[in-house]
């Protein structure tokens, strides 16, 4: 017995410890929680706030698209600002712009003012989103990319669970109050980042990681990046577009309910995502990016179609939950795939901004086109087409090879995708494009 005991302990000690989450990432996660609560409060009332200016479904949905449109067109400029002034300044400036936009939205006196003020917030959103993505890609250990992406998304969604519920409860305060609350939440997040992430710390990291820039065309040469772009568009169309723009209107038109049911539906979706993210980030690092992304796209696509077809509140809620679970299943794999393509020794501002632009393009097109379909044929067709789009995105992954290298998988074919090998995960990962033969 005295001999076995040391053997057990030596086995345990031989097991490599889990790499800790960097302090800067923890701060970004905490800030994301405050941002998500504020955004979740706004989401249930935004389409109905727009409709209060006597406009139709398509015009109400355009308010959602205006925010994403400004994110889309400003993304290249945001990347250049990031390179010039650094992540911290870009992040803080973006948050302040979004806060001011939210305050202005609360006091809009016409539909066009609402559209402009909401759109301007997209500029700030691009700045803080791309800078946060860049920090996470650069700071996350290679073997923990999926887990940290899942952790970041989980925290954001936990705020998203509380936000819509609070938004529904605050409906009695009127349609303008949530935007003031959102602005305050954004300023709190900015204060957390300002106080807890010092410019000296990021400056030291930036100089240590002076990296050659990866061009977009280099990343586009790899199949998984192209598949991730297609999936980001479909995910932006559904999870960030019609979910926000049409589910509140569907709850009102089909079930005769107001902001309260809208808030519950969005909360259920966020709960499904959060539950899935508790384990899918880890699985993404263990079994690969591709299986989780494809599964998530198929589940989210099927359940999105069900949401538009059902007239039963219980089925509606279950479908929203499962659609959220599908979204939570695919997101860590998407983020990790893009990070694998960039690698830790290249600057991927262009690659990240184009990936974000693809999602924003879906978020723009989804509410407008699906809103027009609702006006023409009803909610069933709008949600059915949106679900089919996710399933088509899943098919885009069939010909590509997973970017996570495992011992039980054959080597990646020539001209396909970069690999993350066991040796490369020890902080010696070469540039992704240089691995293409």
Check: CB of residue 320 under 8 Å from CB of residue 102.
no
Decide: helix, strand or coil at residue 213. Answer: strand
Average pLDDT over residues 126-134: 84
Query: Where are the domains positioned within the chain?
Result: 20-435
| Of the listed ranges 6-15, 76-85, 260-269, the one predicted with least confidence | 6-15
CA angle 144, 145, 150 (to 5 degrees): 100
pLDDT at 412 over 50: no
Q: Are 134 and 80 in contact (CB under 8 A)?
A: no
Residue 308 is predicted with a pLDDT of 87
Report residue 361 as tokens. 């393009």
Confidence class for position 410, pLDDT limits 50, 70, 90: very low
Put residue 414 in one of left, alpha, beta given phi > 0 → left and psi -120 to 50 → alpha: beta
Q: State the pLDDT at residue 4.
A: 45
What local confidence, expressed as pLDDT, does residue 7 receive?
A: 44
CA distances from 323 to 15, 289, 328 (A): 37, 19, 9
pLDDT of res. 286: 86
User: Is the predicted pLDDT of residue 334 greater than 70, yes or no?
Assistant: yes
Taking alpha carbons only, the member of 250, 429, 421 closest to residue 346 is 429
Between 167 and 357, where is the model more confident? 357
SS3 content of the chain, % helix, strand, coil (to 5): 80, 0, 20
**Chain centre to alpha carbon of residue 228:** 13
User: Which neighbouring-strand residues pair with 404?
Assistant: 420
pLDDT of 1 reads 45
Rounded to whole angstroms, the Cα distance separating 311 from 291 reads 32
CATH hierarchy code of domain 20-435: 1.20.1250.20
By percentage, how much of the chain surpasses pLDDT 90? Answer: 23
Res. 14 pLDDT band, cuts 50 70 90: very low
191-199 mean pLDDT: 83
Q: Is 16 exposed, middle or buried (0-12, 13-18, 19+ CB in 10 A)?
A: exposed
d(CA 45, CA 170): 10
How far is Cα 430 from Cα 258, in angstroms, rounded to an integer?
Answer: 54
**DSSP three-state, residue 222:** coil
Confidence of residue 285 (pLDDT cuts 50, 70, 90): confident
Indicate the pLDDT class of residue 19, thresholds 50, 70 and 90: low
Of 59-73, 172-186, 202-216, minimum mean pLDDT range: 202-216
Q: Hunting for tokens 């259920």 — which residue is that?
A: 268
Residue 17: which pLDDT band, with cuts at 50, 70 and 90? low
Q: For residue 259, what pLDDT band results from cuts at 50, 70 and 90? A: low
Host H or E run for residue 391:
helix 379-395
Non-local CB neighbours of 3 within 8 Å, separated by 6+ positions: none
- Give the integer Cα–Cα distance in Å for 373 and 367: 10
pLDDT (tens digit per residue) in 220-232: 999 999 999 999 9
Q: Nearest CA to 40 among 161, 175, 190?
A: 161
Average pLDDT of every residue of the chain: 79
**For residue 428, what pLDDT is reported?**
38
**pLDDT tens, residue by residue, 353-378:** 889 889 888 888 888 898 888 888 88
**What is the predicted pLDDT for the residue at 18?**
64
Token digits of residue 263 = 């808030």
Per residue in 88-107, pLDDT (tens digit) is 888 899 999 999 999 999 99
pLDDT confidence band for 160 (50 / 70 / 90): low
Partnered with residue 347 across adjacent β-strands are 213
Residue-wise pLDDT for 68-92, tens only, equals 788 888 888 887 787 777 778 888 9
> What pLDDT is stored for residue 384 in this prediction?
92
Position with higher pLDDT, 129 vs 169: 129
């Amino acid at each position: 017995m005295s001999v076995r005991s040391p053997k057990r302990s030596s086995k345990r000690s031989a097991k490599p410890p889990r790499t800790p989450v960097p302090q800067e990432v923890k701060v970004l996660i905490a800030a994301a929680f405050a941002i998500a609560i504020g955004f979740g409060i706004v989401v249930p009332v935004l389409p109905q706030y727009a409709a209060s200016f006597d406009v139709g479904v398509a015009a109400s949905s355009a308010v959602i698209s205006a925010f994403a449109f400004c994110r889309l067109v400003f993304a290249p400029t945001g990347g250049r600002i990031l390179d010039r002034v650094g992540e911290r300044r870009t992040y803080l400036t973006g948050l302040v712009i979004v806060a001011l936009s939210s305050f202005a939205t609360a006091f809009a006196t016409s539909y066009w003012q609402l559209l402009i003020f909401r759109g301007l917030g997209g500029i700030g959103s691009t700045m803080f989103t791309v800078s946060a993505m860049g920090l996470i890609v650069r700071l996350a250990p290679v073997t923990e990319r999926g887990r940290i992406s899942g952790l970041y998304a989980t925290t954001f969604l936990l705020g998203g669970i509380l936000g819509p519920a609070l938004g529904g409860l605050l409906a009695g305060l009127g349609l303008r109050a949530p935007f003031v609350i959102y602005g305050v939440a954004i300023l709190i997040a900015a204060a957390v980042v300002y106080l807890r992430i010092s410019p000296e710390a990021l400056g030291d990291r930036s100089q240590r990681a002076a990296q050659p820039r990866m061009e977009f065309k280099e990343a586009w040469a790899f199949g998984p990046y192209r598949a991730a772009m297609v999936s980001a568009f479909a995910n932006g169309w559904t999870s960030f577009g019609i979910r926000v723009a049409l589910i509140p209107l569907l709850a009102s038109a089909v079930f005769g309910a107001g902001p309260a049911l809208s808030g519950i539906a969005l909360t259920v979706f966020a709960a499904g995502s959060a539950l899935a993210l508790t384990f899918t980030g880890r699985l993404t690092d263990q079994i690969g990016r591709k299986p989780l992304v494809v599964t998530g796209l198929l589940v989210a696509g099927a359940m999105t179609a069900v949401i538009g077809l059902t007239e039963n509140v219980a089925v509606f809620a279950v479908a929203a939950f499962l659609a959220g679970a599908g979204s939570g299943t695919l997101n860590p794999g998407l983020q990790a795939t893009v990070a694998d393509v960039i690698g830790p020794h290249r600057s991927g501002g262009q690659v990240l901004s184009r990936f974000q632009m693809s999602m924003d393009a879906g978020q723009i097109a989804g509410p407008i086109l699906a809103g027009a379909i609702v006006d023409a044929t009803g909610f069933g067709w709008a949600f059915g087409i949106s679900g089919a789009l996710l399933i088509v995105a899943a098919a885009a992954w069939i010909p590509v090879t997973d970017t996570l290298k495992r011992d039980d998988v054959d080597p990646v074919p020539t001209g396909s995708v970069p690999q993350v090998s066991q040796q490369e995960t020890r902080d010696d990962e070469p540039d992704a494009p240089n691995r293409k033969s």
